[in-house]
Amino acid sequence: MTIAEKAGDLTPRELSDIKEAEAKAKREAHPEATREEKPLQLLVERASNPKSWIPCIEDKHLRSWMYMSQEKGVSYADFEQLKEKVEWTEIHGAAALTRKTMWFVKKGCRCPYSYGKQQVSAVTFPDWFLDMAKRWLNSLNLNDQDKDSTFPNCVNLNLYEHGDHQVAWHSDDEPLFRGKFQDTRIISVTLGAMRKFQVGLKAPRRGGILKPEKGSMATFNLGHGQVCTMEGLFQKHYLHQIAKGTTRQARINATFRNIVEHAAGCPLR
Ligand SMILES: O=C(O)CCC(=O)C(=O)O
Ligand SMILES: [Fe+2]
């Protein structure tokens, strides 16, 4: 066991620094034996337009990557259609309505999804939604054939009606995605108003509140048509949030994911 693996109570940043030092020492001691771990195929490497993808986080040691790009295939008509057609579920925080959501999954899947204490049932991807999603993600060259499918098999939609709606610090590390143990891929698409998307390193939990490690927070504006990816072990090591803002305009966000461990009771388990 290496020092880094033993050091369960270090912050992710400290762990990353130790791992880097360990890797350097190993390279120097055994230059012939050192091989890089097999790299993940990042979405930017599959994309038809890799130059239009901006690296936001490239953290090799924590196996965490985040990229952003502007996607022309996302329209305001899509925004209006989603706002009207989706049967939104209200998500309530301790005191107020925080946002509205919808949980779509691929045909045959029955995995529910939980927002804090609220659980919602799976709704099969409607064809009209799949059509727009394929257009949005077209440049990523994902394969939507059942065998070896790389196209996301579920999506969480969020409707933030104005700046008071938000989602607090969290990571998408539910057991369905196995994001604490293996590489995952989340693709988020924004429609409508621009909001601030903040990310930061997971700090050791103090009580029930999740907060990023001091000094690690970064802010990115996600506006209409912006696509943002979180890949590798990002959900294990980083938190994200949409903080409250001042806008009176609505924003819709679709976060596409891949369920790899279907829930008990789901026919796809
Ligand atoms: O609205 C966003 O950009 C983020 C949404 C999010 O974090 C989630 O749905 O888990
Ligand atoms: Fe999230």
Percent above pLDDT 90 for the chain: 74
Mean per-residue pLDDT over the chain, rounded: 90
5 vs 116, residue with greater confidence: 116
Cα 3 from Cα 119, distance rounded (Å)? 40
88, 102, 188: residue to mutate for ligand 1 pocket, most atoms within 8 A of CB: 188
Q: Kindly state the tokens that stand for 214.
A: 């001091």
Residues 12 and 49 grouped into a single domain: no
Q: Which of 120, 155, 167 to mutate for ligand 1's pocket (most ligand atoms within 8 Å of CB)? A: 167
Within this chain, do residues 158 and 202 fall inside the same structural domain, yes or no?
yes
- ipTM (interface predicted TM): 0.99
pLDDT at 87 over 50: yes
Considering the domain boundaries, does residue 238 fall inside one?
yes
SS3 197: strand
> Ligand 1 centre and the CA of 267: distance in Å?
27
Please count the structural domains in the chain: 2
More confident residue, 38 or 115: 115
Task: Examine the domain organization and report whether 2 and 81 are in the same domain.
Answer: no
In this structure, the answer to whether residues 31 and 47 fall within a common structural domain is: no
pLDDT of residue 75: 98
pTM for the whole structure: 0.86
Q: Within 184-268, where are the H helices? A: 234-237
C-alpha count within 13 angstroms, C-beta hemisphere, residue 66? 22
Chain segment 202-258, per-residue pLDDT in tens: 987 766 778 999 999 999 999 999 999 999 999 999 999 999 999 999 999 999 999
Distances (CA, A) of 48 to 121, 142, 245: 35, 11, 34
User: Domain limits at 59?
Assistant: 43-257
